[in-house]
Amino acid sequence: MTERQAPFHKLYDRFGLLFLVTVVTMALLLLVDLDQDEGIAELLSFTVTLLAAATLFLAVAAAGVGYRGRQITLVLIGAVLVAAIVSMVFSDVPNGHGGLLWLILVTAAPIVALRRLVQHRTVKVETLLGALSVYLLIALAATYFFLFIDTFLSGSGRFFGQEEPTTVFTYFSLITITTVGYGDFDPAGVVGRAAAAWEAIIGQIYLVVVVARLVTQYSGGRLLRGGADSPPDD
């Protein structure tokens, strides 16, 4: 193990930890509006952004991304956090929710994590937790993509046709990826509708193809081990 690898070696394949942090991050994103700009509320919103950054870095570290990839991730995260601090200190600076840099990072996180999971020769509990983490990371990426559309691509309009707190974007992302479809919120523009449709499609394909396959392999492995350990019939 080289000196560069040592600090991150303990995080390699730690998908159980990634799952826990991702769940907490998504839960807080459902409760905390990132656009709050007063006192403790603003500090809380920055804390949630910091936790989201930690989630993304854990995904990269658990996936075993190389030294250069980790360095790039840290630079992107650092740039986003600096921008968030500037927005928090100077109230006249708008909060762009990380912009394009953040969007690239949240999109790459589930991809690199999934790439590592499909390399597992034996499906373990950590593998299944990793698969669930990727599912939530897809929803997280969609949340920030919707916010990106709302901030930079919607022109004079809004993603939902009117201003909404960021908690609604997280809620809408989770409702979309699970195809529940309550219908209480709908994208107002063509780009938003296309983004929501693709999230639903990707989410369902992921569950049907990836998660179902991993669960089947995990169950099959348990049956094989159980058969090998059981005593022979008389």
Per-residue pLDDT tens digits for 198-220: 999 999 999 888 888 887 777 76
- Closest Cα to residue 175, out of 198, 200, 194? 200
Provide, rounded to the nearest whole percent, the portion of the chain with pLDDT above 70. 85
- What average pLDDT does the structure give for the chain? 84
Sign of CA dihedral 77, 81, 82, 83: positive
The CA distance from 159 to 148, in Å, is 9
Q: Is the pLDDT of residue 1 over 50?
A: no
47 to 44, 152, 211: CA distances (angstroms): 5, 24, 31
Q: Can you give the pLDDT at residue 21? A: 95
Q: What's the pLDDT tens digit per position in 145-195?
A: 999 999 887 654 689 988 899 999 999 999 999 999 898 999 988 899 999
Please indicate whether residue 211 or residue 20 has the higher confidence score (pLDDT): 20
Q: Is the pLDDT of residue 223 over 80?
A: no
What does the pLDDT average to over 55-69?
Answer: 91
Q: What interhelical angle do 125-148 and 212-229 show, nearest 10?
A: 170
DSSP 164-226: --HHHHHHHHHHHHTT----S----SHHHHHHHHHHHHHHHHIIIIIIHHHHHHHHHHHHHHH
Please indicate whether residue 7 or residue 167 has the higher confidence score (pLDDT): 167
